[in-house]
Amino acid sequence: MPPRRRRPTEPFREKFPEPGPDRFEGYGKRIAVEDGIAARSRRGAIGESWWSGRFLAVLEKLGVGGRLDRGKTYARAGQVVDLAIDPGEVVATVQGSRSEPYRARIGITTFADEAWEAVEGAFAADSWYAASLLGGTVPDDLEEVFARVGLSLFPTGAREMPMDCSCPDWSVPCKHLAAVAYLVAERFDDDPFLILRWRGRDRTTLLAGIRERRDDTGPAVTPLAQVVDRFWSAGGPLPDLGRPVPGNSEELLDQMPPLGVAVDGTDAREALRPFYRRFGL
Amino acid sequence: MLALHAAWSPGRGLCFWAEDPARVAGGSRSRARGARPHPFAADHERLWAVAAALGATGGEGQAVLHLPSTAGPSGATREPVPSDAATVSAALAPWTVPVLELDAGVLLRSEPLPGEGGEFTVLRALGRLAADLVTRGRVLPAPAPDDDTPLGWRPVLQGPDLVAADAFAAALPPAVRAEALDGRPVADGVGPDPAELVTEALTALVDAEARHRLRSEPVPPALLRAAATGELEPGLARWEVVGAPHAGPARGTFRLTEIAVDDLGHAVDGEPRFWLEFSLQSAQDASLRVTAESIWRDAGSLRRWLDDPSEMLLAELGRAATIYPELTDALRVPRPTGMELDRAGTHHFLLHVAAPLDRAGFGVLLPSWWSEPARLGITANATGGAGPEGVVALRGRLRKEELVDFSWKLAVDGETLSDDEMRALVHAKAPLVFLRGRWVAVDPDRLRAGLEFLDRAPAEGTVGDVLTLHSAYHDDLPPEWAAPLPVEDVTAGGSLGALLSGAADAHLELLDDPPALEATLRPYQRRGVSWLAFLSGLRVGGVLADDMGLGKTLQVLALEAHERADPLPPTLLVAPTSVVGNWQREAARFTPGLRVLVHHGAGRTTGDLTAVLASADLVVTSYGTLTRDVAELSRHAFHRLVLDEAQLVKNNRSRAARAVRTIDAQHRLALTGTPVENRLAELWSIMDAVNPGLLGTVTAFRDRYAVPIERHGRSDVAKRLQGAVRPFLLRRVKTDRSVVDDLPDKIETVERCGLTAEQASLYQVVVDEMTETLSGLETAGREGIERRGKVLAALTKLKQVCDHPALLLHDGSALARRSGKLARVEEIVAEILAAGEKALLFTQFTEFGDALAPHLARRFGVEVLWLHGGTSRRARDTMVEAFQADDGSGPPLFLLSLKAGGTGLTLTAAQHVIHLDRWWNPAVEDQATDRAFRIGQKRTVQVRKLVCGGTVEERIDDLIEGKRALAGQVIGDGGDDPDWLTGLSTDELRRMVALGPGASTGDEDEVDDELDDDDAA
């Protein structure tokens, strides 16, 4: 039995004993949601990849089996109204049996900028990580990159991952949090960059950082000193230009918007037209 | 002569300088930025002399260039290495050279000068790209670099132009970017970014070219004003970003090439290596492919095509790595551009990676030598055996049982490997070997299986084994011969080899014409007989499938005459009823020494045939009789079984087909005139009849050959089948080179047909009537005109009966199955139509034509033209035109009455002429024949004259052919009136018309419809 916490934010909430299945019915039926976020998985496990599995394992270790199953049902039924994965937290709105939806949040410790810079440096030196992530997969050895700077990519336990929900259930996670977690797992399946975003670095920043540090790894241009042996001549085949294809020399001009300046009564663009006609002659 | 050089200086543009190969110091003594003066660079004065020849203007200056230089003792450089000397061991050092800063336009509008370096080649080519961009209007106004002409121009690089510019950046000679950059340590030696330099140079060139073309174009003053005041700038700024359609998403593409030279330019020896180059290819325009190397080098220009090319590249590589995990290692660098593969890696990529990548949507570009995994097979060669020259040289006496040595080899893609090549394959670390100028990959498991088989394969076998191995399907072979790989080829030397290769008729030793043969064989016939004799000696069945008219009958008779110098059991010849009589007569004519027994018809010997067979060389029977008498006939041993018109026995479950298989003969031979190799069901039936079991069961044959060839259009399977039957099938067509020269322009044959029972009895009735009438007239003393009329009437009636009973009865009854002649006509027409050829059919009886035309049209489902005396002139012309249609599309059969169609027409579209009945005067027939045989006829015309055996027709024919004493009378006045006939005495006439034994009436019910009966029910 995991330690139960009272939520300090809602001190006046009615207290119920741990609800059994029969009494659970007393909460009434969940209110159906239109256009809710429904899990893709219709049966069995949710979360196909090993990395979303690592994330869900933290929840499963808490041993609240029944709630996880009900959360799964919620996730499949589309009870989650909205969900955002941001640096440091997942925030979601879940429709339960009460008219007012609950707010659920799964927090995470973000990594410091220095740590991310070290990770970006490692990514820049070894394109495999970025290639694999961009290709939609978390590379097997990604955790090692974080381990080298003393970090763990996945939370090691619930302590690193504070969860709370505005519902009356004392259990953590409640079925609402569980539903959110399952949907997050599917998001991770689809876009492994979201794990990194949750940990504090969004995709754009990360890739820009990698680019910047890649340039530090050396010049992209072949140094002259390396091509002394073919110094005076072409270093490869010249493109075959063929014969110029006679075509419409005004095609590009036609695609351009007006210049917004009148010349002799028409837009300046039309004043340029004779020049383009001349080019094609 | 100076060596001319060019550098592109960021900011200054084209810098022209030169070195004096004679190493005469001329350059300025000044130092720029501390770099020593180049010791033999040309000074400004000498540079101007050259620039004047280029028509160039510009300013003077100095530039510091990093140039290859000799390394001094302590690493200090001594002097520049001349550009025409080897620079392998050189280092870079900065030198100050005098330069002329020239207008970029000089690269556009001057002829190359002697002495120009490789820099000029590339820059002038870049100039051509610039001019091309201007011509296509791929330029936009740019803020002017000077005040004289406020309108400047810049290139718009999209799609293929972008790729071209990129290729220039990759190809840019280092010398062009050799200027030392401000702020860079000289020792760095990186030089300006080539991509930036190319963009800058291209912009300068486009600007120069566009201005040049507009030099006489008036510019509206208001436009000039707007440009000068900067009013245009906001609009032009919008143009910077608009109108650059993206080429859309790109896909990762992998290109495999062989690394021919190593990094130092040395040819690679030892282990081959391959390079798998990474690139991105536009999904919309496959010609747009940018290498990973360009992407990493890219200064931003590619981003106009793709949002972020480097990340797209990485994403694609990451995706590909899930299919091709080996990729991972190549990605563990900052800028992956490709991966090197050794022989094993290349083999793996080609066989197991390329296709999955392609299926997953990646581009895969493989070397042109690569098509697919090489086909591994086995070949066998038979040598040695009995006799000093080995088996194969023995003329016509080779036996199936003779022993030969086998040597087995591996073959790759059908080519037998030499021992060296086989060794190379065995010793290769991976089964990717360089063979005959290309790389081939073989499946290692199959290679191992093949090599194991080579170890245990039989080293000796019989000639029969050679043939079986060559032609039988792999699964049907006995285990010790069943190779784990397809047997690609089986070869042998000499005549056996010629037989296997299908060139037997060209290479076999030719037999002399048998003395007992009363004919001279044409050369191709002699080759055919030699082939038949060779097969006969081997006791291997054969199919002689020569085009109709090439003399299959004669070749078979010659074979018999050749072999029957020694006593032999008789040969059983089975033919359709309609040609039984023909065989008998042809044998009598060409091989009178052969004792021919016609075992056919109601009068044939029944019961034990031992006695009659003992005194016969050739027993001719019909398929119907064979079916009926099979119990007796299968008790006797025959020398040979010959199946004439064997394609008729295509239903292998028919009684005739089964009867054929029970006959005991040492040798089996089938004759057919149809292109049997294209009709698989027929081919199997015929082959199985002459070489039982060779092609497997009919079910197996359907699965192995018929379905793949006919339903799936598998040409490889068709080729394999052709190879399998090749040794046993000889087919020459009239258009063959080897035959055509031997052929006369016109082949005339007389074909004998039998009479049906109905015809025979009607014939007898007419003969009896005539005899009676003539006797009556004679008794009454009324001869002369009246007698002559009666004789002519009777002769006409007899000829009508020979054609068809319905002609005499005038009852308009159905034609089918009542006339032996019609049956033969149908057979001939079927062959002609099968060959896609056309025929003229002549008859003297309009009534016959009226019935025959619709009958043939129905029977064969083709249009039959019918021209007779009642046909209008216009209809006649239309028919001729349709028949002669240039594209050969017209009706294939043209029936004409001898009188109406015998003269005047040109009908050269026909290759066949059939005379359905004989006219008294051959000249009339010849005239008719000439309709087809006229100027414009380029092929051999086959003329057939149909004659009913044992009737007046045959006797008249004998007379016409000049074989009898009365011949002189035939060649009379050439008129139509057969006076010579009517003038005969009644006795002579009676002999003339009497129904002879050769009338060969069939059994009561028999017009060969037994051939296709299906009594399976």
- pLDDT category at B807 given cuts 50, 70, 90 is confident
Residue that has been written with the tokens 């092609």 in this structure: B695
DSSP bridge partners of B152: B142
Looking from the CA of A5 toward its CB, the CA atoms found within 13 Å total 13
How far out from the chain centre does Cα B558 lie?
Answer: 36
- How many pairs of residues across A and B have Cβ atoms under 8 Å apart? 225
CA B365 vs CA B256, B280, B290, B926: distances in Å: 6, 12, 13, 68
Closest in A124, A264, A280 to B334, CB measured: A124
Residue that has been written with the tokens 């009436």 in this structure: B1001
Above 70 in pLDDT, residue B989? Answer: yes
pLDDT at B502: 77
Contacts of A258 in chain B (CB under 8 A): 235
Q: Residue B914 class from Cβ within 10 Å (0-12 exposed, 13-18 middle, 19+ buried)?
A: buried
The CATH code belonging to domain B749-999 is: 3.40.50.300
Range 193-212 of A in CB contact (< 8 A) with B: 207, 211
Highest mean pLDDT: which range of A110-124, A154-168, B163-177, B305-319: A110-124
CA B373 vs CA B154, B363, B441, B446: distances in Å: 50, 19, 5, 11
- pLDDT category at B27 given cuts 50, 70, 90 is low
CB B189 within 8 A of CB B66: yes
CA distance B9 to B14: 6
Whether A89 has its CB under 8 Å from any CB of chain B: the answer is no
Highest mean pLDDT: which range of A81-85, B75-79, B231-235: A81-85
CA distance B38 to B35: 9
| Averaged pLDDT of chain B | 81
Whether B358 has its CB under 8 Å from any CB of chain A: the answer is no
Residue B102 or B971, more confident: B102
Contacts of B264 in chain A (CB under 8 A): 229
pLDDT digits (tens, 9 = 90+) for B234-260: 787 777 765 444 445 788 899 998 876
pLDDT (average), residues B216-226:
83
Residue of A nearest to B124 (CA): A238
How many other C-beta atoms can be found within 10 angstroms of the C-beta atom of residue B606?
9
3-state secondary structure B639-658: EEEEECCHHHHCCCCCHHHH
CA B661 vs CA B395, B626, B673: distances in Å: 29, 11, 21
Whether B338 has its CB under 8 Å from any CB of chain A: the answer is no
CB B451 within 8 A of CB B421: no
- pLDDT category at B1017 given cuts 50, 70, 90 is very low
* Residue B174 to residue A263, Cβ atoms within 8 A: no
Domain borders along chain B are: 3-241, 250-365, 376-501, 504-743, 749-999
CA distance to partner chain B, nearest, from residue A224 (Å): 5
CA distance to partner chain B, nearest, from residue A40 (Å): 22
At residue A189, φ and ψ (nearest 5 deg) are -55, -45
Above 90 in pLDDT, residue B12? Answer: no
Angle made by CA atoms B787, B793, B796, in degrees to the nearest 5: 140
In the three-class reduction of DSSP (H, G, I as helix; E, B as strand; rest coil), residue B495 is classed as: helix
Contacts of A278 in chain B (CB under 8 A): 213-214, 217
pLDDT (average), residues B620-625:
91
DSSP string, B920-951: S-HHHHHHHHTTTSSTT--SPEEEEEEEETTS
Above 90 in pLDDT, residue B894? Answer: yes
Whether A249 has its CB under 8 Å from any CB of chain B: the answer is yes
Question: Which of A222-226, A241-245, B1000-1004 is predicted least confidently?
Answer: B1000-1004
Residue B305 or A251, more confident: A251
pLDDT digits (tens, 9 = 90+) for B820-876: 899 889 989 988 888 888 999 999 898 899 989 999 999 898 999 999 888 888 888
* Residue B68 to residue A228, Cβ atoms within 8 A: yes
- pLDDT category at A41 given cuts 50, 70, 90 is confident
ipTM, 2 decimals?
Answer: 0.73
- pLDDT category at B359 given cuts 50, 70, 90 is confident
CB B161 within 8 A of CB A241: no
Strand B250-258 to strand B274-282: parallel, antiparallel, or no bridges (unpaired)? antiparallel
Range 159-188 of B in CB contact (< 8 A) with A: 163-164, 167-168, 170-175, 177-178, 188
The CATH code belonging to domain B504-743 is: 3.40.50.10810
